[in-house]
Amino acid sequence: MPAPMAEAPLSVALGRTKRTEALFDGSVADPALPLDLPAIPVISRAFAPMVREGRHEVSEMAIATFLMAKEAGAPLVLLPCVLAARFQESALLCRADGPVGGPADLSGKRIGVRAYSQTTGMWLRGMLQARFGLAADAMRWITFEDAHVPTYRDPPWSERAPAGATLEAMLEAGAIDAAIFGNDMPQNPAFRPVFADAEAAGAAFLAAHGFVPVNHLLVARADVARDRAPALGALLGLLARAGAAVSTRAALGPALALAARHCAEQGLTARALSPAEIWAGTPPGIG
């Protein structure tokens, strides 16, 4: 009998991390499902093209971006695979000699963040509200770029940084009182965490909610979910073998529900999306 025909290559935009390296180096592979893995040095740069034009068949995507895109009607579906998750508290920095002694001091302060829609910012704003009673509009948010969802407009309690300014330079100069960094954490002795014991704060979040905050998940275009569902299932199998956290809808439910609530509270979405809306279009049998 002739060998079964291989699938057409599946275009997948992934950050190259310890969770995905085995797919890039070929040590985890399936001859029946070739993968097209473009080199994307900063994976967040893949999010806007995926939302706006569906550039890839499958893509890593920040959870806040996905929820905003889903509400806006982007033809994307969620796949139950966590590609990045971490405690967020250590990403919020202030000047070591500045006026911020701790999170409660942030009321009325200017906080810099790459984009108001950045997922790390979403989680941290949620923590500030839950633990310290600081709603998003209790602070002034200084941003540097637009959201990945093109129709979104930042809320009135935010403003754009001056042209040419950088997050680190503004914090060091005192033009902002605190700043949220992502993976690009500065090694600057002039800065310290706003949370004096970020590790303990992360442990408290885990005890309260039962999960580590999720940053990046996996999404597919709706047409791919409809027409190539078996290939998506095979891709999830490869990712699990590579070390990614392939999960289930039920297991991801608490993280997605809290993220959806935070997005609504902070003006990222008009309302909190329901689980049915979040998982709409995900193929049966996946997750």
Please state, rounded to an integer, the average pLDDT across all residues of the chain.
Answer: 95
For the cut 70, the answer to whether the pLDDT of residue 6 exceeds it is: no
Structure tokens at 72: 């806006």
Percent above pLDDT 90 for the chain? 95
Residues 6+ apart with CB under 8 A from 268: 64, 67, 68, 116, 117, 122, 152, 262
Q: Please write the tens of the pLDDT for every residue from 190-205.
A: 999 999 999 999 999 9
Rounded to an integer, the average pLDDT of 71-82 is 98
**pLDDT of res. 183:** 77
CB 47 within 8 A of CB 212: no
User: Among residues 59, 55, 63, which one has the least CA distance to residue 14?
Assistant: 59
At 148, which amino acid appears? H
Cα–Cα distance, 80 to 92 (Å, whole number): 28
Q: Please write the tens of the pLDDT for every residue from 114-136.
A: 999 999 999 999 999 999 999 99
